[in-house]
Amino acid sequence: MRVYCSYSDSELAFLLTQGDELAFTEIYNRFYGLLFIHANKRLNDDEEAKDVLHQLFESLWVKRLQVAPDGNLSAYLYTAVRNRVLDVFAHQKVESKYIDSLQDYIDQDHVSTDYMVREKQMALLIEQEIDALPPKMREIFILSRKENKSHKEIALELGLSELTVKTQVKNALRILKSRLGVVIYVVFLLKTYR
């Protein structure tokens, strides 16, 4: 009966390539503790380090034919752990970027939704103030600003002088400016002249 704990690393590596499960078990027992410390030192996470080693030993058994039987088994395993730790960091970085971009999207969507709500509120406020104008003034103002008719066209349509139309529009704008405040008034003007 073979005593695997007395075998050198290269002898165990050779037996591993032959599919010897006991050699694999000896390699696992011999290196697990040191490799765990090595992985955990970099990852700072016991569970993550255990996952890395679980994947490493699983891969070692599956790819046992690729292990160089006369190579340095210890160096092979440490390199494999280092590569897997780097994979974990790369995955975390991608995950973090994804979460950041998702958060940016949510934030922008929130800002855009907030803006749309405010814009609707502002439009409603403007409409209410236009509706509160005296009836004739309101009619002239709507024809001028919403239907984009000239003072001359409005005068002809309503049977008024151009000067009356001009004065009514001017008075409507003055009233709206005082009721809405300068900022909302300017926004209103920008929207009507787009």
pTM of the model: 0.48
Does 161 score more than 70 pLDDT?
A: yes
Q: Is 74 exposed, middle or buried (0-12, 13-18, 19+ CB in 10 A)?
A: middle
The pLDDT assigned to 120 comes to 73
pLDDT in tens, 89-100: 877 776 666 666
So what's the pLDDT on residue 193? 47
> pLDDT (tens digit, 9 = 90+) per residue, 117-140?
666 777 777 777 778 888 888 888
Residue recorded with tokens 């970027």: 97
Q: How far apart are CA 145 and CA 154, in angstroms?
A: 11
Q: How far apart (Å, rounded) are the C-alpha atoms in residues 73 and 8?
A: 10
Would you list the domain boundaries of the chain? 4-97, 132-192
Please identify, in words, the CATH class of the domain defined by 132-192.
Answer: mainly alpha
The fold for domain 4-97 equals Rna Polymerase Sigma Factor; Chain: A (1.10.1740)
Q: What is the pLDDT of residue 177?
A: 74
> Looking at residue 32, what is its pLDDT?
93
Mean pLDDT of 76-91: 86
- Are 48 and 88 in contact by the 8 Å Cβ rule? The answer is yes
